[in-house]
């Protein structure tokens, strides 16, 4: 297979890499050896050096082993971006366990499914989530609940004030501290700081990353230590200008999502960077952190960059430290990209991936040629091709639209306990992504849309991304998404949901008229609904499915 994309690689990016054949905790150990005193984590002013992080994760690993966790057991981690999240992740892996990343926003039903499906007997969670866990405890296999507070690793003054703040906000919770419930900090104090001796192989499963469950029941993607190491190393080589031991990463994209886990936490720790942790995205907090810590690398999603672009007091912040930003978990529109680069002087490019590939498979060159609307080029050692939608067996030529398939060292082992579904998406070593794409003559790939999101309107196929690109070009629009709403004649009507910029006003007729000048008539939205905000996941991905469900309820 001819790899057209290699000719478009940025100077210094290799076509192939010699990957270290090691389990993931070994990456941390190598960084500790090189930069023991350098800051690994900063959390609201509290700094944890690399050697401290290593010892803390050792202590947790030994504590887990003492509690009965054995190699291959699943340990769920239900935490936002706090130091305990990183300590818990590496501690569980050092104990030989498989980490089950658990979204803190899960309601009881979702949490119950994931714990039962994974068979996790241990969970590390924020005390604020304890009541949710307690209500399902008798219906799941949990034997150990390890709780921690968001204030446990704050600097002394903030740690003193934190309980008062929670009390004032009515969020203070009382959690019993007796088996099977354990206090995170106390466990670490009592445990040995030595590295536990648990034989972990690169091919062992390291992570169960549950897919979003937009169709059917969420599935656990099995990612090995080798998968995760490979993807972190691929990210490193994609950015030759990264400076080992010098970069400052903004850790605001959630680490419980594999995108944040790989491109921020794993990559940052691989190169000895400092991770500035923020538990959630609040524009003012993010901007202050960028300025205070001179953040250089900012992995995020489009919604984050949109929020910064449209922040009313943006002129007060010096964002010139930012060098490289990659937008993932959805499309990056050109207008958002241009405005953010104008504000910061840094580079913002689009990447692409999916949980089943650890997750990154493609990215736009940081300083090389970029093509609007493109996800860029396949990573080193990553093969990609477009196949026919009907059978998935016929390779399509340059320019034709079909399903994107991928092969590489970052591709998953399969779905946890779902062999039949694994066989559907993994065929002859190729991962079938479910995304419709095309490749141009330079090897750049363009995602047209998800197969299931394609809108069929009166004999024509319309891809939402194309319509949304046009809507983003309207000067008054801040955010937009389109869905296909079924009508009485078994076809779909294109409906746009629009969020306007502050102090802007527009009518549906105005938006529709603008669209008629931007694209063919059959692609123009027939309906426009204005909203203050769009429904999103915690990572900032727009939930198209929720909007469609709302429309279907109206018609029921």
Beta pairing, strands 181-183 & 205-210: unpaired
In a domain, 125, yes or no: yes
- Rounded CA-CA distance 51/35 in Å is 8
Average of pLDDT values for 1-20?
Answer: 94
Confidence check: pLDDT of 530 > 80 = yes
Total length of the chain: 556
Q: What is the CATH number of the domain that holds 158?
A: 3.40.50.980
Given 155, 172, 200, which residue is the final one in a domain? 200
Q: Which residue did the predictor score with more confidence, 154 or 277? A: 277
Confidence check: pLDDT of 489 > 60 = no
In a domain, 193, yes or no: yes
Max CA distance (Å), the chain: 69
Confidence check: pLDDT of 508 > 90 = yes
Average of pLDDT values for 130-153?
Answer: 95
* pLDDT at residue 2, rounded to an integer: 82
Average of pLDDT values for 531-556?
Answer: 81
| SS3 state of residue 276 | strand
Percentage of residues in the chain with pLDDT exceeding 70?
95
* pLDDT at residue 458, rounded to an integer: 58
pLDDT in tens, 282-338: 999 999 999 999 999 999 988 899 999 999 999 999 999 999 999 987 788 888 899
Average pLDDT, the chain: 91
Best-predicted range by mean pLDDT (106-115, 211-220, 505-514): 505-514
pLDDT in tens, 34-91: 999 999 999 999 999 999 999 999 999 999 999 999 999 999 999 999 999 999 999 9
Confidence check: pLDDT of 531 > 90 = yes
Given 200, 218, 238, which residue is the final one in a domain? 200
Number of domains the chain contains: 2
* pLDDT at residue 450, rounded to an integer: 66
- When pLDDT is cut at 50, 70 and 90, the band that residue 213 belongs to is very low
In a domain, 195, yes or no: yes
CA nearest to 227, candidates 330, 381, 78, 80: 381
Q: Which two tokens stand for residue 321?
A: 């430290």
Task: Give the H/E segment covering residue 287.
Answer: helix 283-293
- When pLDDT is cut at 50, 70 and 90, the band that residue 462 belongs to is confident
Alpha helices in 46-121 (DSSP H): 50-66, 83-94, 108-118
pLDDT in tens, 33-42: 999 999 999 9
In a domain, 103, yes or no: yes
Confidence check: pLDDT of 215 > 60 = no
Confidence check: pLDDT of 487 > 80 = no
| SS3 state of residue 263 | helix
Per-residue DSSP letter, 232:
H
* pLDDT at residue 517, rounded to an integer: 85
Given 156, 179, 200, which residue is the final one in a domain? 200
Least trusted range by pLDDT, from 81-95, 207-221, 239-253, 460-474: 207-221
In a domain, 36, yes or no: no
Average of pLDDT values for 151-167?
Answer: 78
* Extended strands (E) in 282-398: 297-300, 324-327, 347-353, 360-363, 377-378, 383-387
Is there a contact between 474 and 516 (Cβ–Cβ < 8 Å)? no
Domain range for 498:
454-555
pLDDT in tens, 327-378: 987 788 888 899 999 999 999 999 999 999 999 999 999 999 999 889 999 9
Contacts of 400 (CB under 8 A, 6+ apart): 386, 438
Q: Which residue did the predictor score with more confidence, 301 or 207? A: 207
Q: What is the CATH number of the domain that holds 516?
A: 3.30.300.30
Per-residue DSSP letter, 111:
H
In a domain, 511, yes or no: yes
In a domain, 236, yes or no: no
In a domain, 353, yes or no: no
- Rounded CA-CA distance 485/506 in Å is 23
Q: Which two tokens stand for residue 346?
A: 């840094």
Average of pLDDT values for 386-415?
Answer: 93
């Amino acid at each position: 297979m001819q790899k057209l994309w290699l000719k478009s690689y940025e100077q210094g990016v290799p076509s192939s890499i010699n990957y270290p054949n090691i389990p993931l905790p070994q990456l941390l150990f190598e960084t500790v050896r090189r930069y023991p005193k350098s800051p690994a984590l900063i959390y609201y002013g509290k700094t944890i050096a690399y050697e401290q992080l290593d010892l803390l994760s050792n202590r947790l690993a030994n504590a887990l082993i003492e509690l009965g966790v054995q190699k291959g057991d699943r340990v769920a981690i239900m935490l936002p971006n706090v130091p305990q999240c990183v300590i818990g992740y590496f501690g569980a892996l050092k104990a030989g366990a498989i980490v089950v990343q658990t979204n803190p926003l899960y309601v009881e039903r979702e949490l119950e499914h994931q714990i039962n499906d994974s068979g996790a007997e241990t969970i590390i969670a924020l005390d604020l989530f304890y009541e949710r866990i307690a209500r399902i405890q008798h219906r799941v296999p949990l034997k150990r609940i390890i709780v921690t507070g968001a204030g446990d690793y704050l600097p002394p003054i903030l740690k003193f004030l934190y309980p008062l703040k929670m009390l004032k906000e009515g969020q203070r919770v009382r959690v019993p501290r007796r088996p099977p419930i354990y206090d995170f900090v106390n466990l670490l104090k009592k445990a040995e700081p030595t590295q536990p001796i648990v034989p972990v192989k690169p091919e062992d499963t390291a992570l169960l990353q549950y897919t979003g469950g937009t169709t059917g029941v969420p599935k656990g993607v099995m990612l090995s230590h080798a998968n995760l190491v490979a993807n972190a190393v691929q990210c490193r080589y994609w950015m030759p200008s990264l400076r080992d031991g010098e970069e400052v990463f903004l850790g605001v994209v959630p680490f419980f999502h594999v995108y944040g886990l790989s491109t921020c936490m794993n990559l940052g720790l691989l190169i000895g960077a400092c991770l500035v942790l923020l538990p959630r995205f609040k524009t003012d907090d993010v901007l202050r952190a960028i300025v205070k810590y001179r953040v250089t690398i900012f992995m995020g999603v489009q919604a984050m960059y949109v929020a910064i672009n449209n922040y009313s007091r943006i002129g007060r912040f010096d964002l010139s430290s930012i060098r490289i930003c990659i937008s993932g978990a959805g499309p990056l529109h050109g207008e958002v990209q241009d405005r953010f680069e104008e504000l910061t002087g840094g580079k913002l490019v689009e990447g692409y991936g999916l949980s089943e590939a650890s997750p990154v498979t493609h990215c736009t060159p940081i300083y090389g040629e970029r093509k609007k609307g493109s996800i860029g080029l396949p990573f080193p050692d990553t093969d990609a091709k477009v196949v026919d939608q009907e059978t998935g067996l016929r390779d399509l030529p340059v320019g034709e639209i079909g399903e994107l398939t991928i092969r590489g060292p970052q591709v998953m082992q399969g779905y946890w306990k779902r062999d039949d579904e694994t066989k559907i998406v993994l065929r002859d070593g190729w991962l079938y992504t479910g995304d419709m794409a095309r490749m141009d003559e330079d090897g750049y790939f363009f995602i047209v849309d998800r197969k299931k999101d394609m809108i069929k309107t009166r004999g024509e196929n319309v891809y939402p991304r194309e319509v949304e690109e046009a809507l983003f070009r309207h000067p008054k629009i801040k955010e937009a998404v389109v869905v296909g709403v079924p009508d009485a004649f078994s076809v779909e009507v294109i409906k746009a949901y629009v969020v306007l910029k502050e102090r802007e006003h527009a009518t549906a007729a105005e938006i529709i008229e603008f669209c008629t000048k931007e694209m063919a008539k059959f692609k123009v939205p027939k309906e426009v609904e204005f909203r203050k905000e769009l429904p999103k996941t915690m990572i900032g991905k727009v939930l198209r499915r929720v909007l469609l469900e709302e429309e279907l309820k109206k018609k029921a």
